[in-house]
Structure 1
């Protein structure tokens, strides 16, 4: 665990600052989420590009090839033919004598935007240059996003493209596609093209795009399973795999689905309002009827059998080289033909 870890802002904050026209002289981007770091670098590059007139004013280095002094000298050099220049150092953690960067942090060049990148965590924030980076507000962490943080990122990404997606529709899209941000970004771009001049990504747009692509979704698989339609479930499963959906995402979403069904079985014995039930089992309200139908088709014992089958499939995917389609086909068979 990192020693004396202060509160570090997320790379998502960089996106918001750039939209307000705020561009800092130094950015230290680090963390486990490579996608977030690379996306933020692209945003910074895009923000400074209008004032860069020469390709020579975009410099890219790797930490193992440069000393801190060489990096500082490059940063202090005037742009070749522009008012500003961009200097990027990837794998800055491989640079020796990093503490010598402190002198530059305290007095950065007015004509250079320096972006330092570290793929991975920081073990000690109390040492330099991290102490100075924190106090100067130049450091941002790229964390693996889940739950509300992933929803927040998706909403923020839409805003950068001049579009709007509500919290509930962002959640719906994540449930549909899983948490892979590359996949989410790719499909958002398709949605934006589909929208044209319209601004809002609403539920109808999401569903229309899914239909237009003739591609099944995780929800289609869940509904086929919930309705105990084995033939359709198998067809949808193969469609998902053929369209590049990760098998671990499919298993994860089915685990989430049966977890919700198990909770619903318990809650349905009380007198809780439907909206509150949807909140407690963590599903969009408009999908509650589908879950209620599934409860009629699966007993508590069958839900437990499904959970065991999912656990076994997950273990097989992670620990063996078994054929993916075969493994997930067996999974569906065990879900449909478990305890009767």
Structure 2
């Protein structure tokens, strides 16, 4: 079940007695809980009809006490249990050990929940094990909702609306430029819509009374991630733009990015582009190629775009140059920064 369907169920009063929320997008989870509260909870009676339990310190008695008392002057009573820690392949926390021994009791109790209750298990930044009997019980009585990162048109629309809320406009092209600079899809970066919202607020404050958000504003306000800089560096190399490539490289040095890490990232990106081209030549489709490369759709699109700037022969030569550069740095033949500058110039001349 998608969170948009859950929001629709709230609007149409089709709420189930139990839900399991899990995933990486904290913002959308919190937004859904807030929508639930706004629909069913009177602020003056919130302490009676909205119960938030910490999964690290509760026992079955606490769940019974929260769910067995009827709502007061309200159609629904909402009970949120955060981070119980028993839904993944591995359990987490001291309370998780207790509930592992009580899982049958909890599983059976979930099947008896009345319509007046809405019990939500909230598990942030985990992957659940859908084979577990407890999760099957939740699915039988309610719904399981995965909160993934917004993508494509959904993400573009969210960003556009966020700027509109502050009476700002931004073009479709600059929305994509904003996403590229945000690190939202970067590997190993736990960025959420909260982080994007903070960047939007910074841009709103920076532009003051001016209505339109430009690419120049984004360049000034938003710090570029290492992944973004590597992408820009290889773009410049592919376009044979030595000056711009060296500017991007020096920006990374000013940001104190380690030389070995920069070289490692250059090699990684070149390898991804090379493998992409080989797979394309063999007739692999997008889904299969993404699986082979182990990348998401956003990174796939960047790799696909950059592949047009390099031939297979150029990529082979560039990778050999990188390996030579790595050996020269490690053996102390040449200073690391100078070695990379020379590498960039050579690669631009391929």
Which TM-score bucket, shorter chain as reference? 0.5 to 0.7
Q: 199, 206, 210: which is aligned to 2:218?
A: 210
Offset at 1:115? 1.5
- Does residue 47 in structure 1 map to residue 35 in structure 2? yes
What aligned pairs does 1:149-228 form with structure 2 within 5 A after superposition?
A: 150-151=151-152, 154-155=155-156, 157-158=158-159, 174-178=179-183, 179=185, 180=189, 182=191, 185-187=194-196, 190-191=199-200, 205=213, 207-213=215-221, 215-216=223-224, 218=229, 219-226=231-238, 227-228=241-242
- Does residue 74 in structure 1 map to residue 87 in structure 2? no
Change (3 A) 1:251 1:15: farther
Structure 1: tracts of 5 or more residues without a match: 1-8, 197-203, 269-278, 317-325
- Does residue 60 in structure 1 map to residue 60 in structure 2? no
Instruction: Give the TM-score normalised by the residue count of structure 1.
Output: 0.58
Change (3 A) 1:263 1:256: same
Distance 2:302 2:8 in 1: 31
Distance 1:330 1:110 in 2: 69
Offset at 1:74? 0.8
The worse-fitting range, judged by mean Cα deviation, of 19-28 and 41-50 is: 19-28
Change (3 A) 1:45 1:173: same
Distance 1:250 1:81 in 2: 64
What whole-Å deviation, never above 9, does each CA across 1:168-193 have from its counterpart, x for those lacking one?
98766554443235266523554478
Please state whether the residue corresponding to 2:233 is helix, strand or coil: helix
Task: Confirm or deny: 8 A CA contact 1:155 1:166 kept in the other structure.
Answer: no
What whole-Å deviation, never above 9, does each CA across 1:256-288 have from its counterpart, x for those lacking one?
3664378679999xxxxxxxxxx9x95469x96
Offset at 1:139? 1.9
Task: Confirm or deny: 8 A CA contact 2:203 2:218 kept in the other structure.
Answer: no
Alignment correspondent of 1:6: none
What aligned pairs does 1:81-100 form with structure 2 within 5 A after superposition?
A: 83-92=75-84, 93=86, 94=96, 95=99, 96-100=101-105
What whole-Å deviation, never above 9, does each CA across 1:107-150 have from its counterpart, x for those lacking one?
434443321134644456252x222212334223456x6xxx75
User: Alignment length, in residue pairs?
Assistant: 281
- Does residue 304 in structure 1 map to residue 319 in structure 2? yes
CA RMSD of aligned residues (A): 5.1
Offset at 1:19? 5.1
Change (3 A) 1:39 1:109: farther
Change (3 A) 1:336 1:250: closer
Distance 1:67 1:76 in 2: 15
Task: Confirm or deny: 8 A CA contact 1:27 1:140 kept in the other structure.
Answer: yes
Distance 1:337 1:70 in 2: 66
Task: Confirm or deny: 8 A CA contact 1:222 1:254 kept in the other structure.
Answer: no
Distance 2:144 2:277 in 1: 44
